[in-house]
Amino acid sequence: MTDLQSYLAQRVQYVDRALDSFLPSAGTKPVTIHKAMRHSIFAGGKRLRPILCLAAAEACGGSDADALSAACGVECLHTYSLIHDDLPCMDDDDMRRGVPTCHKVYGEAMALLAGDALQALAFELVAKSRAGHRYSIGDMILELACTAGSLHLVGGQVADLEGEGKNLQLDDLRFIHENKTAAMLTTSVKLGGMCADALPEELAALEKFGMTTGLAFQIIDDILDVTQTTEKLGKSAGKDIASEKSTYPALLGLDASCEKAHQLTEQAHRALDVFGPRGQQLRQLADYLLAREY
CB 70 within 8 A of CB 191: yes
Q: How many chain residues bind a copy of itself (CB under 8 A)?
A: 54
Cα–chain center distance at 124: 18
CB 23 within 8 A of CB 37: yes
Residue with smaller CB distance to a copy of itself, 129 or 257: 129
3-state class percentages of the chain: helix first, strand second, coil last, to nearest 5? 75, 0, 25
Q: Does 29 bind a copy of itself (CB under 8 A)?
A: yes
Q: Does 170 bind a copy of itself (CB under 8 A)?
A: no
Q: How far is the CB of 181 from a copy of itself (least distance, A)?
A: 16
Q: Does 108 bind a copy of itself (CB under 8 A)?
A: yes
How many whole angstroms separate alpha carbon 61 and alpha carbon 18?
21
Going by C-alpha positions, the residue among 148, 215, 158 that lies closest to residue 181 is: 215
Residue of 5, 17, 25, 30 that binds a copy of itself (CB under 8 A) = 30
Residue of 4, 26, 142, 291 that binds a copy of itself (CB under 8 A) = 142
CB 147 within 8 A of CB 187: yes
Cα–chain center distance at 95: 19
Q: How far is the CB of 217 from a copy of itself (least distance, A)?
A: 22
Kindly list the residues in this chain that would bind a copy of itself in the complex (CB under 8 A): 24, 28-30, 32-34, 37, 80-81, 84, 87, 89-90, 107-110, 112-117, 119-121, 123-124, 126-128, 131, 136-138, 141-142, 144-146, 148-151, 153-155, 157-159, 161-162, 175
